[in-house]
Homo-oligomer: A and B are copies of this chain.
């Protein structure tokens, strides 16, 4: 599919994240309150104020949940209408008063997260982490090639790009000590992921094909992780406070419709999947991803380049598996893909892997990093690249703030 041209000129530049082909959904505030918007070129369209052809109630609250809940026919109708309004110059005069420069707005959470689940679907990531912790012979857990491994995360911790992230306190046990301390995490890390947003609800088991139809769109997702807290807490019931500080998402929901031309097949299976996980067609996407790290006062270094297309399990498979037990899924549920790592050292999606557990520092402008330092700004980038255009995700960014001052009650001497 070629570039679809818009009368918003900036949208037609080949390096623009937001051509007419994209039309991602967000929530913005230009100083007059939060409203639902669509990115086009260097602008945001105030969608509630144009002749969108849908029930105005869908746009009465500044969140995309109502549109998501209204179902795929509405999703298609809105996208088709926006294509006309922003593609046909005849609508320029009527629509342009409702465009706001992106540089003049603050972007807010694009939807209300109902529940948040995080998966573990990159074979390279699982192999890297497993090799570090259990040795190369036992790198992949026995279940990994059969199950889209996942765990429930904390929806209240999901924040939008730009939100500062405080280094967490927690229980950490140093290797040379018998007992834990309550201390700020010294191994605070990122995880480069893609987030899939459940639009339509379900009750009961859904197929991979049905699951795919339920997905409204995707965002970039950084699942900030405190490796030292995780190492001490995670047996036997999994990660908990290590993952609850923050999960940052990019502010624009890139729709499944916009990504259609970039579908790609899952890799060869090392052993056959159970029938319920069979895919009816290509369910991954060719999305180029990268991570930039900028220490305080220094320029940004790209520390990772990878691609979502090399995951082992798709979001549709993960969502199908999520429903097997009878678990209901609801509008606004967010599924993290798991850390997206490629086969090479510079395609690893976490510092844990890049620095191989803190033993091989990564070079960045102004220093080296094994884990994150206060003042570091992490930014995820992503785009599906077409013929003369790109479906961009915008940026997913956060700056590490020092740990908060410990309240007196938490530091009293042990009696």
Say whether A326 contacts B166, CB under 8 Å. yes
Closest B-chain residue to A155, C-beta based? B115
Contact of A326 among B182, B245, B328, B411 (CB under 8 A): B245
Find chain B residues with CB under 8 A from A53 CB: none
**CA–CA, A153 and B271, complex, Å:** 30
User: Among residues 137 to 151 in chain A, which have CB atoms less than 8 Å away from a CB atom of chain B?
Assistant: 141, 143, 146-147, 149-151
Give Cα A292 to B238, complex, Å: 31
Instruction: Considering the complex, give the chain B residue whose CB is closest to the CB of A410.
Output: B276
A330 at the interface (CB under 8 A from B): yes
Q: Which residues A249-290 have CB closer than 8 A to chain B?
A: 271-272, 274-276, 278
Stretch of A26-34, A68-76, A226-234, A366-374 with 4 or more beta carbons under 8 angstroms from chain B: A226-234
Query: A327 touching B238 by the CB < 8 A rule?
Result: no
CB contacts (< 8 Å) of A276 on chain B: these are: 182, 409-411
Quick check: is A316 within 8 A (CB to CB) of the other chain? no
- The answer to whether the Cβ of A329 comes within 8 Å of any Cβ in the partner chain is yes
Contact between A153 and B152 (Cβ–Cβ < 8 Å)? yes
User: Nearest-CB distance from A201 to chain B (Å)?
Assistant: 9
Distance of A120 Cα from B240 Cα, bound (Å) = 13
Q: Check A321/B115 contact, CB under 8 A, given A179-B271, A326-B166.
A: no
CB distance B324 to A241 under 8 Å? Answer: yes
User: Is A393 among interface residues, defined by CB-CB distance under 8 A?
Assistant: no
- Rounded to whole angstroms, the CA-CA distance of A2 and B111 in the bound complex is 51
Interface string of A151-172 (1 = CB under 8 A from B): 1111111000000001011110
Instruction: From B150, B209, B404, B412, give the contact of A275 (CB < 8 A).
Output: B412
Q: A101-120 CB contact bits vs B (8 Å, 1 = yes)?
A: 00000000000001100001
Point out the residue from B143, B153, B170, B407 that lies within 8 Å of A235, measured CB to CB. Answer: B143
| Chain A 56-88 interface mask (CB, 8 Å, partner B; 1/0) | 000000000000000000000000000000000
Q: By the criterion CB–CB under 8 Å, are B152 and A154 in contact?
A: yes
A158 to chain B, nearest CB (A): 10
Q: Which residue of B lies closest to A146 (CB)?
A: B180
Residues of B within 8 A of A411 (CB): 275-276
Give CA–CA (A271, B326) in the complex, Å.
41
- Check A328/B157 contact, CB under 8 A, given A143-B180, A412-B275: yes
Q: Is A205 engaged at the interface, CB distance under 8 Å to the other chain?
A: yes
CB A198 to nearest CB in B, in angstroms, measures: 11
What distance in Å separates the Cβ of A268 from its nearest Cβ neighbour in chain B?
Answer: 14
Asked if A246 is an interface residue, CB under 8 A from chain B, the answer is yes
Quick check: A143 and B326 within 8 Å, CB to CB?
Answer: no
Partner of A226, one of B115, B150, B235, B325: B325
Q: Which residue of B lies closest to A207 (CB)?
A: B409
Bound-complex Cα distance A412 to B229 (A): 43
Q: Are A150 and B413 in contact (CB under 8 A)?
A: no
In the complex the two chains form, is B150's CB within 8 Å of A240's CB? yes
Given the known interface contacts A115-B155, A326-B166, A327-B245, the answer about A143 and B232 at a Cβ–Cβ threshold of 8 Å is: yes
A118–B409 Cα distance when bound, in Å, is 25
A191 to B269, CA, bound (A): 37
| A207 touching B407, Cβ below 8 Å | yes
Q: Chain B residues with Cβ under 8 A from A245's Cβ?
A: 325-327
What is the chain B residue whose CB lies nearest that of A153? Answer: B152
Contact A237 B272 (CB under 8 A): no
- Closest CB-CB distance, A135 to chain B, in whole Å? 14
11 more CB-based (< 8 A) A-B contacts, given A156-B329, A171-B274, A238-B238: A115-B115, A143-B233, A146-B171, A171-B324, A182-B274, A182-B324, A205-B407, A234-B237, A236-B238, A244-B327, A275-B410
CB within 8 Å of B: which residues of A?
A: 114-115, 120, 141, 143, 146-147, 149-157, 166, 168-171, 173, 179-182, 204-205, 207, 209, 226, 229, 232-242, 244-246, 271-272, 274-276, 278, 321-322, 324-330, 404, 407, 409-415
